[in-house]
């Protein structure tokens, strides 16, 4: 069996793959394939489900909630979790996806994507946020059975887990960014 390698963003374990990944995302090709195929409704087509695994360390699973659905924020959560390198583009990408999560989850806006557009108007004000330890939040792999997963999670639980993990470290910063660069004109 091929040795599995941890995705640098989420820590889930995937077989080596030469597939494409996003320029600014710190995702392994295997993780990016699973995410991309999942987003078009066909995760099996990634070829990654059978061989991949969740990280060893157990992660707290947030309760499912009935509040406004977080499902639509899955791309933001994935973007924040796969924070990438320290290029200005990667930093900007993490910041605006995090701001979008923050804006919708705290109820400051009901329009997903609004904070992204607002945040993208401004360049060079955001800084690199030190990521949480690899494997400390749920991953895309947790949405599917097998590979160490006995009870697959929902999209919303994934979003919430990534959000909570990043908020624990950077809640004050993202709140300040939101007031300064998203709300203000
Ligand atoms: Zn990943």
**134 C-alpha vs ligand 1 centroid, how far in Å?**
10
**22 C-alpha vs ligand 1 centroid, how far in Å?**
12
Phi, psi of 53 (to 5 degrees): -145, 155
Question: Within a 10 A sphere around the Cβ of 119, how many other Cβ atoms?
Answer: 23
**First and final CA of the chain: distance in angstroms?**
56
**118 C-alpha vs ligand 1 centroid, how far in Å?**
27
Residues whose CB is under 5 A from ligand 1 (ion)?
A: 7, 9-10, 27, 31
**25 C-alpha vs ligand 1 centroid, how far in Å?**
9
d(CA 67, CA 77): 17
DSSP state of 130: P
φ/ψ region of 35 (left if φ > 0, alpha if ψ in -120 to 50, else beta) reads alpha
Does the structure show a pLDDT above 80 at 22? no
**24 C-alpha vs ligand 1 centroid, how far in Å?**
13
Does the structure show a pLDDT above 90 at 150? yes
**102 C-alpha vs ligand 1 centroid, how far in Å?**
21
Count of domains for the chain: 1
**132 C-alpha vs ligand 1 centroid, how far in Å?**
13
pLDDT, the chain, mean: 93
pLDDT band, very low/low/confident/very high, at 31 (cuts 50, 70, 90): very high
Phi, psi of 13 (to 5 degrees): -105, 125
Range of the domain at 165: 5-183
pLDDT band, very low/low/confident/very high, at 169 (cuts 50, 70, 90): very high
**184 C-alpha vs ligand 1 centroid, how far in Å?**
33
d(CA 32, CA 123): 26
Residue showing tokens 């994935």: 78
Q: What is the pLDDT of residue 68?
A: 65
Chain-centre distance of CA 105, in angstroms?
A: 14
**180 C-alpha vs ligand 1 centroid, how far in Å?**
30
**44 C-alpha vs ligand 1 centroid, how far in Å?**
16
**28 C-alpha vs ligand 1 centroid, how far in Å?**
6
Is the pTM above the cut of 0.75?
yes
């Amino acid at each position: 069996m091929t040795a599995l390698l941890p995705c640098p963003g989420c820590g889930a374990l995937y077989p080596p793959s030469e597939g494409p990944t996003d320029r600014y995302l710190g995702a392994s090709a295997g993780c990016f394939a699973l995410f991309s195929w999942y987003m078009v409704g066909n995760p099996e087509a990634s070829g990654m489900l059978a061989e991949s695994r969740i990280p060893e360390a157990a992660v707290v699973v947030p309760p499912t909630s009935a509040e406004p659905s977080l499902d639509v924020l899955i791309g933001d959560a994935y973007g924040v979790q796969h924070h990438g390198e320290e290029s200005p583009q990667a930093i900007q990408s993490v910041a605006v996806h995090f701001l979008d999560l923050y804006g919708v989850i705290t109820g400051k806006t009901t329009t997903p994507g609004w904070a992204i557009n607002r945040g993208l108007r401004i360049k060079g004000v955001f800084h690199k946020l030190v990521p949480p330890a690899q494997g400390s939040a749920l991953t895309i792999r947790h949405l599917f059975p097998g590979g160490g997963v006995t009870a697959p999670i929902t999209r919303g639980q994934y979003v919430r887990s990534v959000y909570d993990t990043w908020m624990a470290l950077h809640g004050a910063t993202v709140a300040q960014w939101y007031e300064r660069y998203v709300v203000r004109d």
